[in-house]
Amino acid sequence: MAFMISGIDEAGKGPVLGPMCVAGVLMDDAANGALLKLGVKDSKQLSPKKREVLAGDIKKLAAKYFVLEVSAFQIDELRKIMTMNEIMVVCFAKVLEELRPDHAFVDAADVIAQRFGENIKKKYTREITITSEHEADVKYPIVSAASILAKVRRDLLVKELGEKIGEDLGSGYPADPKTIYFLENWVKEHGSLPDFARKSWETSRRILGEFASSQINSGILVKL
């Protein structure tokens, strides 16, 4: 039986809008070299078009792949009982349960990379070797492949959200002016955040707070 390896990475841990996607790719150890021939890189180093092309190639090459989608609402609910790093551990372990590799390479979502891997092993129900490193998506082609699938899926979901409401959401990240412009205008119009916004984010709280202050200053008090 072939020795199977997996790479796992996320896209969308930090945005204020939209879901987080955690992707995993399962391949035999020999197929790792084929990823290099495809030209996989960390998704941030590739154009959107190139990511889409590579995502199709990766899916054909993989023995199995899986993308876990975690909605803004789910993230807000989980943050009531655990930290974001703990959420990442649970999500990475869930992807591993779907793929069941012999050895997993993961992009560490903890300042202490080794601790992140150890915490995943505690949540995982099988015996496994885990290599947990910072910038694993740059170092290991199979993690680069996972980063591409995660990024392509999240970008598609954000695009679909924007098309559904007829608005430009930007990237969904707090540093994106388009995203902030959308949120501020949405709150002004509706008096609340959209259901795909992460209400536990400081950006969301700030925008709601500014709106409440503006209403009070204008003599109109609304219940948020």
- Adjacent-strand bridge partners of 11: 21
**CATH pick for 164-217 out of 1.10.10.460, 1.10.565.10, 1.10.3720.10, 3.40.50.1100:** 1.10.10.460
**CATH 3.30.420.10 matches 4-162:** yes
Q: Where are the alpha helices (DSSP H) in the chain?
A: 31-38, 48-61, 72-78, 84-99, 113-123, 136-139, 141-165, 177-190, 202-217
pLDDT in tens, 63-93: 999 999 999 999 999 999 999 999 999 999 9
Please enumerate in sequence order all residues whose Cβ is within 8 A of that of 135, keeping only pairs 6 or more positions apart, or say none: 42, 107
Model pTM?
0.93
Query: Among 27, 37, 30, 36, which Cα is nearest to 60's?
Result: 27
Q: Are 143 and 117 in contact (CB under 8 A)?
A: no
Number of neighbours of residue 79 by Cβ within 10 angstroms: 16
Q: Copy the structure tokens of residue 49.
A: 């078009």
Q: Copy the structure tokens of residue 55.
A: 């995502």
Reduced to 3 DSSP states, what percent helix, strand and coil does the chain have, rounded to the nearest 5?
Answer: 55, 15, 30
198 by Cβ neighbours in 10 Å (0-12 / 13-18 / 19+) ranks as: buried
pLDDT at 102: 96
Residue for token pair 């790719």 = 25
Question: Structural domain boundaries of the chain?
Answer: 4-162, 164-217
pLDDT at 222: 45
- Amino acid identity for residue 179 in this structure: T
Low-confidence ranges of the chain (pLDDT < 50): 221-224
Q: Are 107 and 10 in contact (CB under 8 A)?
A: yes
